Structure 1
């Protein structure tokens, strides 16, 4: 009888020790520990993680290489235009007078010897997020306009005035109005229009 009792006691002790390897009865083994969120994580002496900052998108600058060349269609007329500024772009500040120069020449297909004339060139300056400035224009005083059929050309400089503080860029909306002679000896003309747009960064 004593041997049986001793064996039973050892069996109970082994079962008790085996039970100690499991989780405590007050812990739910199926529930994982919560993972702290980004706002709950701390750095150093209890400081919260800094909020992420947004990086502003880079500003497009069509004159960043010093000049911009465009080819514009106006019916049978093709205008080749070059834009540039004699003022360094890092000086294109909101308050500065900012010169925009352009040179234009045209071709026409078919070229039967008819004339191509520029009646008017205009520039509208639109600051980003702001209202357009008054239109600047150069209207020809010649009867039909400036002769711009290659090898003849037209050059002009427009000045972009002050824009509101905080302006990051300006959009220059440019319009060209042509008169095209219908035949080399005709007194009749057809009107053609070409438009262009440039974006230039404002230094600040």
Structure 2
């Protein structure tokens, strides 16, 4: 009699089983969409971040400087005359700023071929400075002229020599270099005893960097 009662108590109602099955199916339906909406793990790992944009920085054009070593030597030819010229500046190159007075000194000695005993004189020396930068050439500064104060000129045949200092004045603040043009007018005796002379002209050009002007 008691055995039948226990077995009866263990029996489940049909409605309870159906409700439990429905709840399980509903939970499954909710879970499946949540799983399907997320990104695949391998897709997230394969994403490569876009590189950050870079800005090109302009590199200043290098400026040649014939006086970067402190001085420079040149040999000029004007007809039968050969002139050895040494250029230098007493102002340091880092002080060759636009507003500074920039001295250029030179010394010259000449020889003549063939040397028959005639003399060589320097009648006039001219310097013209032309400031510029990589994209623009400015107006030349006023020419500086050394006209001989003796006639027929300064004797420059070796062992005699000529020395002088010219000054490059203020240049535009935008200038990064200056081209310095020299012109030399020589008078050469036609014969060792002649009072007649032949004129010969020699020229030379230096490029010198302009240092940046410090603020203040």
Q: How does 1:96-115 map to 2 (within 5 A)?
A: 96-115=100-119
Identify the match of residue 168 of structure 1 among 142, 166, 176: 176
- Give 2:146's aligned residue: 138
Post-superposition shift, 1:52? Answer: 2.2
Looking at structure 1, the residues matched to 56 and 170 of structure 2 have their Cα atoms a distance apart, in angstroms, of 34
| Structure 2 unpaired stretches of 5+ | 1-48
Counterpart CA distance in 2 for 1:53 and 1:42 is: 21
Match of 1:183 among 191, 195, 200: 191
Tell me by how many angstroms 1:107 deviates. 0.2
RMSD of aligned alpha carbons: 1.1
Within the candidate set 41, 51, 56, 1:52 is matched to 56
Deviations 1:156-197 (A, max 9, x none): 000111001121000001000000001100111000000000
Deviations 1:24-79 (A, max 9, x none): xxxxxxxxxxxxxxxxx943xxx4x1232331221000000000100000000000
* Structure 2 Cα separation of the partners of residues 193 and 72 of structure 1: 10
- How far apart in 1 are the matches of 2:50 and 2:139? 46
> Aligned to 2:96, which of 87, 92, 95?
92
Aligned residue for 2:171, secondary structure, equals coil
Distance across 2 between alignment mates of 1:54 and 1:78: 44
- Correspondence 1:30-45 to 2 at 5 A: 42-43=50-51
1:73 paired with 2:77, answer: yes
| Structure 1 segments unaligned to the other structure (5+ residues) | 1-40
Give the structure with higher Rg (CA): 2
Residue number in structure 2 paired with 1:15: none
The superposition leaves residues 109-156 of structure 1 with CA deviations (integer Å, 9 ceiling, x where unpaired) of 011110100000010000012110110010001111000000000000
Q: What residue in structure 1 maps to residue 28 of structure 2?
A: none
Which residues in structure 2 correspond to 1:146-157 (within 5 Å)? Answer: 146-157=154-165
Matched residue, 1:192: 200
* Structure holding more helix per residue: 2
- In the superposition, the TM-score normalised over structure 1's length comes to 0.76
Trace 1:110-125 onto structure 2 (pairs within 5 A).
110-125=114-129
